[in-house]
Structure 1
Amino acid sequence: MRQRSLLCLVTAGLLAVSGCTVERHWGGSSAPAGSGQAKVGLVTKTETNPYFVELRNAASAAAQAQGAEFMALAGQFDGDNDGQVRAIENMVQQGVTTILITPNSSTGVLAAIERARQAGVMVIALDTATDPADAVDATYATDNVAAGRQQGAYVKAALAGSAPKVIMIDGTAGSTVDTYRHNGFLEGIGLRDGDPAIVGRDNANGDQSIAQQKMENLLQRSTDLNAVYTMNEPTARGAYAALQARGLRILMGSIDGGCQGVQNVRDGQYAATVMQFPRKMAEEGVAAAVRYAKTGEKPSGFIDTGSVVITDRPMPGVPSQDTTWGLQNCWGTK
């Protein structure tokens, strides 16, 4: 059921369940900061979105390389806030020294995060900032306003002076990622919320199937558009399927920069994507966790891990790389 959180329930010697992943498990109480033993827990939004799969795999590999113990949990779906709260509580009970989290809701997990920090656990946000930002010790993430602005600037340039008529397929309401990318795109293309140039908008929770359905619904109201904003690449693939079913070829941009997304750009499904670097987020988060366990030192503030426009149709005034570069560097995995 959608309302139920699907988490890994772990007992000694037993790893179970669908809907989440445990990379490694340990027992006992938390090792204090400065003890030298890093025990890292990762909480992602889902375990199925390729972006969060890459984040988890990168964090697991980094932990193994640095001798840290590692545990990963995820909710059942993008927006499963209760599942993330339970994951945090589970990890504190299992003795983590650091929790890395991509919060579904930028406010909905704050109480659980505060309890973890009061217990001596360092908490770092990856990919998605909390609100307020200082609810965690530090954030390693894409500057999502800048990424949205890059997408908007590209779409504006590609319209070549034509007045925009835009459909916006957003992410999860209440997420800073969704808000920042949405606002950045509008800034880049030169619009504001409520502008009649936005001919339709809806949330798709970053899910391809939902995005296709929402796009189909919006196209039933109007097909008079020349551009589509998508919050991430699964959303873009869903929007493309809906457009293709109607025989429409519309200028579309996205954000993620996964290998599949870069290939989508090369194949002409959408004109550009803004690549971000989850491997760098994960590796730097794990490195910070190891330092904290050894020395008690904590990072602070927002650390931007960068973003790059990927397209085979470069536009004046919009710095970019082509899909050959993109396929060699997607998500920092190659």
Structure 2
Amino acid sequence: MNTRSIIRRRSALAVGATVLFAVAATGCSKTQTSGPGASSGGAGGKVKIGLVTKTESNPYFVKLRDSAKAQAGKQGAELVALAGKFDGDNEGQINAIQNLVQQGVKGILITPSNATGILDAIRQAQAKGVVVIALDTETDPADAVAATYATDNTAAGKILGQYVKARMGSTTPQLVTMDLDPSSSVGQQRHNGFLAGMGLAKNSPDVIGSALTQGDQTKSQQAMENLLQRVAGKVNVVYNINEPAARGSYQALQAKGLAGKVTVAAIDGSCSGVADVKSGHFAATVMQFPKKMAEDGVDAVIAYAKTGKKPSGFVDTGSQLITDKPMAGIPSKDSAWGAANCWG
């Protein structure tokens, strides 16, 4: 082999070694970006966050979604929002979680429709390195997710019950409860809290009727119309899982000429719900703060993506009784305060 051939061969080997080194370096870079704090799971390096709500139509979850999107935008992150078709659509939420994992999100914020039915999907997401955080609604067990940002729903139900009891004075309650799906921890906690606040046992004869409403106004109105065929001359209190249910209950009562004769109470604290308190349609509502839930959840996922540190435990985002007819010893704010702070 002549001198020129030897030189050409050495040059080719050097180039090949350089290419192999570059490929190896690129491979190391991809491996390093696969863990928390490296790859952000979004286009252009943005942290990608998934949100799964119970429905797309309930104003409460609309507020939660809009607040989460706004907070993600402020932080330079990307939010992908999905939802079940209705309150209680566990299968729809399972599909949403699987969809989000395939999209490469770093974290999923979820308001579980079914406190136990969603657990396998959550575990599968966590096995892929996705941090899962509950908003508004606890899982069962609560530690199935890293953390929960929510209203203390038992406390919210209890203060509402205490207020109604104080307002009724010596009158014996004849109570109808318009409830959520029994698989929902929110429904159970609010219902049980309200009964405790009223001083009633679960099987009390003072509970003269109940219905499952899915938190939907139309379903609640229909259910109340059916119940009134049996309890129209007896009922004097209606507990409602949320304000859409309360609005449906009120419309049914109004159609029977019972508006103003029956105490209607709810939990939510939307601007429209506060207006219903001001108009006298509702005796009281308990305000929640979904904006805070959403913001805290988004911030927690971003912190996890950047540092690998997960949030933990239950964080009570607060609640506030709203009424224009305060009762001694029951902390409350009026509808003017409620209008200025609704769902803040």
Asked if TM exceeds 0.5, the reply is yes
Preserved contact between residue 31 and residue 95 of structure 1 (Cα < 8 Å): no
> What SS does the corresponding residue of 1:269 show, helix, strand or coil?
coil
Q: 2-side partners of 1:218 and 1:209: how far apart?
A: 14
Query: Is the 1:31–1:96 contact (alpha carbons within 8 Å) kept by the matching residues of 2?
Result: no
2:166 counterpart residue number? 157
Question: Equivalences for 1:236-255 in 2 at 5 Å?
Answer: 236-248=246-258, 249=260, 250-255=262-267
> What corresponds to 2:244 in structure 1?
234
Runs of 4+ residues deviating >2 angstroms: none
Map 1:1-334 → 2, pairs under 5 A? 32-35=35-38, 37=40, 38-223=47-232, 224-248=234-258, 249=260, 250-332=262-344
**TM superposition shift of 1:214:** 0.6
Is the helix fraction higher in 1 or 2? 2
> In structure 2, how many angstroms separate the alpha carbons of the residues matched to 1:232 and 1:171?
9
Residue-pair matches, total: 303
Q: Is the 8 A contact 1:288 1:298 kept in 2?
A: yes
Q: What is the alpha-carbon distance in structure 1 between the residues aligned to residue 149 and residue 34 of structure 2?
A: 24
The structure that has the greater radius of gyration is: 2
User: 2: distance between equivalents of 1:276 and 1:36?
Assistant: 35
Question: How big is the shift at 1:31?
Answer: 5.2
* Local SS of the residue matching 1:317: coil
Provide the secondary structure at the position in 1 that maps to 2:343: helix
Q: List runs of 5+ in structure 1 lacking aligned partners.
A: 1-29
Q: Distance in 1 between matches of 2:81 and 2:75?
A: 17
Given residue 329 of structure 1, which amino acid in structure 2 is its aligned partner? N
Cα distance in structure 2, aligned partners of 1:69 and 1:251: 44
- 1:331 alignment partner, SS class: coil
Amino acid across the alignment from 2:249: A
The letter of the residue matching 1:302 is F
Contact 1:32 1:97 in 2 (8 A): no
Offset of 1:184 from its aligned partner? 0.1
In 2, Cα distance between the equivalents of 1:100 and 1:124? 5
Distance in 1 separating the partners of 2:308 and 2:35: 9
CA RMSD of aligned residues (A): 0.9
Query: 1:32 deviation in Å?
Result: 2.6
Identity of aligned residues (%): 59
